């Protein structure tokens, strides 16, 4: 194998695999899988269908860096939200999911000798991708603020001093995920300003993964860091049609940035895939065109979906609290982490004591209770796993029947 993949090989790949196999074997109610178990909204499904049944060019190569109707609709849609007139020709690239946008961005900018700050808990691919590029990941955890409420994601914060201490002359970029997976934190404007000030002071690029941008609750506002003064020039904003339209299997994502950085990202997109599938891009373009027309109104999917999910979130949180488990209420995203430290249970897994507690707990829950979750220590660097191994992550973008089945299991968790 090439040295680059030997050097990077993710330590936790085996755990993810093992959990996947166990869940299948025990046929669990699966709140581990991080995607919807219901269909995308009708208007995008129809758009896809129309594209497939459309003219022959829907089945042939389209514009390589992004299907014209899609980059135009993305530019039009996000210009007013980013406070910058986005040039669809030069400042947008379409990728095979946001995952690929992250890959293209990191490969384009990061190399051996570079440091990349990653805010923990993080979507695990950030670290793997930085390592694959030869860079060094520098983790900095969100911590519960003293005097704050342990059960609110908003009270998990970055310490300004600790964050600044991670910046050096070798720092190429910082990766933030807002809203955050798995915590569900939605950064306030002030928090983003603090990060922005450091990016400007140390001349660092901000890679902002905003795939859950539409899913905010309790009135929390999603602020785009690229819209802060001085940040358009140094931010790559990444989005996902899969998360936006509950169609993760379409694998359409994008990155938006200023032209110079965008050229670099596009170079990697071109070498890695050269072109993205046409019909799915056409469908997403039409989805955004429709949402542009109804933005801010009751018909907007971008308002309907978070309203639907907030109810699911609240129901699940109540059940967890009833059972003495402590959910950290997310302000955004579709995951909830749960503090299991005070839940006493006999795990019966002699020989596994050196594994992170949350991993052991999740395996017990899969085998003994038939419910899947994800251990949150998987979203931490090796340095900090042990500090954060008492949480599990549940996904609540599920049909009510799935959530009810999960709640039934949770109600009997201590039996």
Partner 1 sequence: MNITRRVLNCKVIYPSSLFNSRGRFCTSQSTRMSRHTNSKRIEGLNKNVWVVFTAMTSDPSIVNLGQGKPDIPPPSYVKEALAKAASVDDLSQYTRGFGHPCLVKALSQVYGKVCGRQIDPFKEILVTVGGYGSLFSTMQGLVDEGDEVIIIEPFFDCYLPMVKMAGAKPVLIPLRVKSGKKTLTGADWFLDPNELASKFSSKTKAIILNTPNNPIGKVFTREELQMIADLCIKHDTLCISDEVYEWLVYKGHQHIKIATLPGMWDRTITIGSGGKTFSVTGWKLGWSIGPEHLIKHLQTVMQNSLYTCPTPLQEALAQGLLHNFDLMGQPECYFSSLSEELEVKRDRLAAVLQEVGMTPIIPEGGYFMLVDVTSLNQDLSHMADDDEAYDWKFVRWMIKEKKLAAIPVTAFVGDESKKQFEKYIRFCFIKQDGTLDAAEHILKNWSQI
Using rule CB under 8 A, residue 261 touches partner 1:
yes
Between 112 and 354, name the residue whose CB sits nearer to partner 1: 112
Using rule CB under 8 A, residue 143 touches partner 1:
no
Torsion of CA 229, 230, 236, 241, to 10 degrees: 20
CB of 107 to partner 1, least distance (A): 7
CB of 99 to partner 1, least distance (A): 5
CB of 347 to partner 1, least distance (A): 30
Please report, for residues 67, 90, 118, 256, 351, the alpha-carbon distance to residue 121 in angstroms, rounded to integers and kept in the order given. 34, 33, 9, 24, 27
Q: Which stretch binds partner 1 (CB under 8 A): 147-155, 272-280, 353-361, 374-382?
A: 272-280
CB of 4 to partner 1, least distance (A): 7
Using rule CB under 8 A, residue 325 touches partner 1:
no
Residue 235 half-sphere exposure toward CB, CA atoms < 13 A: 27
Q: Which ranges of 53-151 would DSSP assign to H, the alpha helix?
A: 68-82, 97-109, 125-132
CB of 1 to partner 1, least distance (A): 4
| Burial readout 245-256 (b: 16 or more C-beta within 10 A, e: otherwise) | bbbbebbbbbbb
Using rule CB under 8 A, residue 22 touches partner 1:
no
Taking the C-alpha atoms of residue 241 and residue 66, their distance in angstroms, rounded to an integer, is 13
Using the rule CB under 8 A, which residue among 81, 152, 267, 294 binds partner 1? 267
Neighbours of 401 (CB within 10 A): 11
**Under DSSP, is residue 172 helix (H, G, I), strand (E, B) or coil?**
strand
Between 29 and 110, name the residue whose CB sits nearer to partner 1: 110
Between 186 and 199, name the residue whose CB sits nearer to partner 1: 199
Between 150 and 271, name the residue whose CB sits nearer to partner 1: 271
Using rule CB under 8 A, residue 132 touches partner 1:
yes
Taking the C-alpha atoms of residue 11 and residue 127, their distance in angstroms, rounded to an integer, is 11
Contact between residue 360 and residue 389 where contact means Cβ atoms under 8 Å apart? no
Contact between residue 269 and residue 297 where contact means Cβ atoms under 8 Å apart? no
**How are the residues of the chain apportioned to helix, strand and coil, as percentages rounded to the nearest 5?**
45, 15, 40
Q: Which stretch binds partner 1 (CB under 8 A): 3-11, 186-194, 313-321, 323-331?
A: 3-11
In the stretch 25-44, what mask flags binding to partner 1 with x, by CB under 8 A?
A: ----------xxxxxx----
Please report, for residues 183, 327, 374, the alpha-carbon distance to residue 370 in angstroms, rounded to integers and kept in the order given. 23, 20, 13
Between 110 and 413, name the residue whose CB sits nearer to partner 1: 110
| Count of residues making up the chain | 415
Using rule CB under 8 A, residue 285 touches partner 1:
no
Contact between residue 356 and residue 386 where contact means Cβ atoms under 8 Å apart? yes
In the stretch 239-258, what mask flags binding to partner 1 with x, by CB under 8 A?
A: ---x---xxxxxx------x
Kindly state the tokens that stand for 92: 């947008």
Q: Which ranges of 26-65 would DSSP assign to H, the alpha helix?
A: 42-52
Taking the C-alpha atoms of residue 413 and residue 328, their distance in angstroms, rounded to an integer, is 19
Using the rule CB under 8 A, which residue among 264, 295, 343, 364 binds partner 1? 264
Contact between residue 329 and residue 151 where contact means Cβ atoms under 8 Å apart? yes
CB of 25 to partner 1, least distance (A): 16
Neighbours of 41 (CB within 10 A): 17
Site for partner 1 in 188-247 (CB under 8 A): 200, 203-205, 229-230, 233-234, 242, 246-247
Site for partner 1 in 354-383 (CB under 8 A): none
Between 220 and 406, name the residue whose CB sits nearer to partner 1: 406
Q: Which stretch binds partner 1 (CB under 8 A): 72-80, 214-222, 271-279, 298-306?
A: 271-279
Site for partner 1 in 48-107 (CB under 8 A): 48-49, 52-53, 56-65, 95-97, 99-100, 103, 107
Taking the C-alpha atoms of residue 251 and residue 45, their distance in angstroms, rounded to an integer, is 14
- Tell me the number of residues near partner 1 by CB under 8 A: 81
CB of 172 to partner 1, least distance (A): 6
Q: Which stretch binds partner 1 (CB under 8 A): 79-87, 217-225, 266-274, 309-317?
A: 266-274
CB of 15 to partner 1, least distance (A): 14
Using rule CB under 8 A, residue 278 touches partner 1:
yes
């Amino acid at each position: 194998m090439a040295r680059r993949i030997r050097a990077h090989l993710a330590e936790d790949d085996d755990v993810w695999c093992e959990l996947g196999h166990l869940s299948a074997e025990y046929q669990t109610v699966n709140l581990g899988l991080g995607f919807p178990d219901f269909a995308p909204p009708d208007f995008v499904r129809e758009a896809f269908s129309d594209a497939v049944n459309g003219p022959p060019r829907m089945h042939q190569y389209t514009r390589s860096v992004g299907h014209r109707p899609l980059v135009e609709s993305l530019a039009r849609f996000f210009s007013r939200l980013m406070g910058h007139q986005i040039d669809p020709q030069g400042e947008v690239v379409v990728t095979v999911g946001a995952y690929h946008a992250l890959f293209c961005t990191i490969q384009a900018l990061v190399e051996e000798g570079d440091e990349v700050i990653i805010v923990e808990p993080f979507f695990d691919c950030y670290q793997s991708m930085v390592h694959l590029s030869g860079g060094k990941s520098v983790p900095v955890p969100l911590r519960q603020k003293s005097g704050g409420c342990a059960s609110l994601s908003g009270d998990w914060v970055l310490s300004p001093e600790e964050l600044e201490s991670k910046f050096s002359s070798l720092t190429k970029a910082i990766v933030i995920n807002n809203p955050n997976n798995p915590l569900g934190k939605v950064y306030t404007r002030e928090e983003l300003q603090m990060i922005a000030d450091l990016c400007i002071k140390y001349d660092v690029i901000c890679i902002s993964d905003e795939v859950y941008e539409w899913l905010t609750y309790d009135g929390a506002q999603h602020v785009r860091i690229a819209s802060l003064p001085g940040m358009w020039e140094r931010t790559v904003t990444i989005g996902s049609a899969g998360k936006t339209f509950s169609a993760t299997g379409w694998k359409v994502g994008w990155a938006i940035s200023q032209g110079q950085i965008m050229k670099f990202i596009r170079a990697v997109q071109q070498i890695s895939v050269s072109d993205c599938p046409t019909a799915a891009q056409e469908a997403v373009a039409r989805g955004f065109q429709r949402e542009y027309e109804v933005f801010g109104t009751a018909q907007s999917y971008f308002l309907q979906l978070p309203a639907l999910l907030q109810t699911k979130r609240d129901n699940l949180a109540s059940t967890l609290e009833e059972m003495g488990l402590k959910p950290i209420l997310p302000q955004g995203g579709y995951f909830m982490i749960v503090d299991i430290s005070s839940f006493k249970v006999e795990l019966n897994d002699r020989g596994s004591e050196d594994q992170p507690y949350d991993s052991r707990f999740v395996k017990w829950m899969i085998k003994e209770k038939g419910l899947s979750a994800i251990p949150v220590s998987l979203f931490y660097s090796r340095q900090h796993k042990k500090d954060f191994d008492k949480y599990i992550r549940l996904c609540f973008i599920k049909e009510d029947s799935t959530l009810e089945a999960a709640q039934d299991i949770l109600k009997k968790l201590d039996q």
